[in-house]
Structure formats: structure tokens, C-alpha cells
A = this chain, B = another copy of it.
């Protein structure tokens, strides 16, 4: 009896050859050497070594310490590399070459897979925006008048995007309740999550020239899960009139794995019906393929499921966000990352933030580790997700996890 190959996956493994997300890893014996890897089941394939062993024309591109060169290489290269990788992990004749290049996931360290250029965060869930509007602006309409005419977004801090597994230090900052006479300073007491999907730009665009809706797949390489940590007390005091700043900029966590869009073709789905006709640059009603993705997220705190946000309910699609973000001529760079905004569905258990789940702290949720309104030190938050794949399979998205470390004294 021979030992089972890591390539012999259990039926229905969400990280089978139909998935093949990319990441950057290092091993304990060579911690300084970062390598491009592809996940297959519970292992990561050293993509550069595999390409070299098999004489691939993409050996140089894959022998990089970062995903950035592949991101920049464009759609034809993305397709060809994926086709080659699929063959390497499925064609029996390659097994002898490939198996020695597989590392168990628990034996590697994962790194941020590419250098983040600009980071933008959107606000594309109608349910989330409505919930937040009710809480933060109780006297007005919950949705601002522009909300259904354009995908609202803002720039975040690219330099504090961290890879899954990085501890998040509780931020300090100013907060002031409306009834307080003056702001106070200290560790945030309303530390929250935002469950999101992030989109990674590969091919840049020229300054001054918009990217059309239909060119989404020429520019965007793939997606990651994203947790846009938020200090609600800091945010509430600072955000008028110029938007979120320190309430968000202390950390944004992304999954170590970038799932190529090609793995998610079976997950495409129509976005919700639009309540207003959209301006032509955002009007996707005549696009060949539906713009939504049926990604099903699960949020856990200390291992307990607290929410299951459905990405398919987002009002604005990633293609619309890209078209909007560039319609003023703003250029794209390789490594630009944009988040969907918190994913919240219509149901209470589908809300992607504690702000919404606890209604700004009014209704604590019960966990085996105690009641929670917002996050406590030591809490570990994990987002996982899957999407429908071809032929009834599931495509797993890499998890994004982070633990809250205590605030540091200033």
C-alpha cells in the first residue's frame, strides 16, 4: 500500500484543481526566501519550482517572491498560467515532479502576496448602509440621496493592509459621545469588524482615461476576503465632514490567498434590481455576464459563528466600482486593492459587522466566551467563504483571521 498523495483530494474539497488560489509563502528552513505558491487541498505548491521542473515558459514569472509580476502580466498570461497549473496538479505523468514541491499548509508561513498600491473601500451593501444610516443619522433618510446613483467609496491606508494571522493592536484615539463636554482619549471601546470581499487589480490603466464596465476582467485579477477593522467610537467623532480616517487606518486584514476570477465563473450572479436608472457608465443591464458573485461568507468570533453575510446581495458590483473609481481619469496600478464594503444581507444573522449585529452595542450577542457588544482583547475573528464552482463543486476562499492585542500605551 502506497502513501496517499497530497494530490488525491477528498471529493468536494473546496481547494481542488478547479480553484487554485495564489499566495506567497516561506518555509521554516529558509524563512527569508519568499516564494509564489498555489494552494491545492491542504498543501501549497511551490509554483516557481514546479515551473522550472516542468520547463514552463512562465518559469521566470513564477519564480518571483511576490504575486505582483503575475498580476501585471495580464489576462492572457493569467489564463495560460492557470491552465498550466491545472495540468501540473491533475495529469498523472507530472506527479513525480510535483509531489516533492508540495508543502503542508501548517508547515509554511504565508505573507502578504503583493504590494498594495492604493486601497479603496466601498459601501455597496444596501442593507449595511441602511443599518448604519439608521444608527448614525437617526433623524434623516438612512441612505444619502447619492447612494443609489453611485457606488460610494473612499481611500484607505494601503500601508496598514496586513495578511491574515497578523495580530491587530487595539487602536487608541479620540471619542466623544454627544453628551460629553469634551473628547476623551484612550483605547477604542467599540472595536469592530467589517466582513468584505476585496478585489485585486493586475493591469494598470493610463492617467486620464476611464476603464469601462466591460473591461473589468482585463484589469482585475482576483479576489480575497477582507476584514476592515473599525473603531466605531473614533469613527463617529472624526468622520464629519471628510469621512473615516483613524477609525479605519490602523489595520485592514486580507486573506493570504488570492482567488483568480477565472475560478469563479460559475459563481457569477445578477445583482439586485436597481431602483433608479443608472448613468451609462454604470449601467450594467446590457452586459453579457452578470456582475455579481455568489460568495457566501461566514464570520466567527473565537470559533463561534456570528454571521453569514451573502455577497450576492450587494447593490453595486465590483465592475461598477472599478468603472466609477476610474471615470474621473484616476489611473489604476498593479496591486490596487478595493473592498466591497461591509457585506450585510437582509436578515439579522447576515450582518457583517458587530455595529449592526448588536445595534451599536444595545443588544449584546452571547458567545461561549461571554457576551459581546464589540471586540475584547484576545478575541479572534475569522472570515471564511465559498462560492459555487463548476459541476456542483465549491470554491473555497482563503480565510482571513486576526486576534485583538491589547492597546499600547502612548
List residues of chain A with CB under 8 Å of any chain B CB. Answer: 117-118, 120, 123, 133, 136-137, 144-146, 149-150, 152-160, 162, 169, 171-174, 176, 182-183, 185, 207-210, 212, 231, 234, 237-247, 249-251, 276, 279-281, 324-325, 327-333, 336, 405, 408, 410
Contacts and interface: CB of A to CB of B under 8 A. Distances in A.
Contacts of A239: 241-243
Q: Tell me the number of copies of this protein.
A: 2
A331 B159 contact: yes
B183 A324 contact: no
A103 to B, nearest CB: 27
13 contacts: A137-B241, A152-B238, A153-B245, A154-B245, A159-B332, A171-B328, A172-B329, A173-B328, A185-B279, A209-B408, A210-B410, A246-B327, A246-B330
Nearest to A328: B171
A212 B276 CA distance: 49
A164 to B, nearest CB: 15
A324 B185 contact: no
Contact of A250 (B137, B234, B330): B330
A156 to B, nearest CB: 6
Contacts of A169: 207-208, 329
Q: Which of A155, A173, A247 has the most CB of B within 10 A?
A: A155
A209 B160 CA distance: 12
Q: Which of A250, A276, A328 has the most CB of B within 10 A?
A: A328
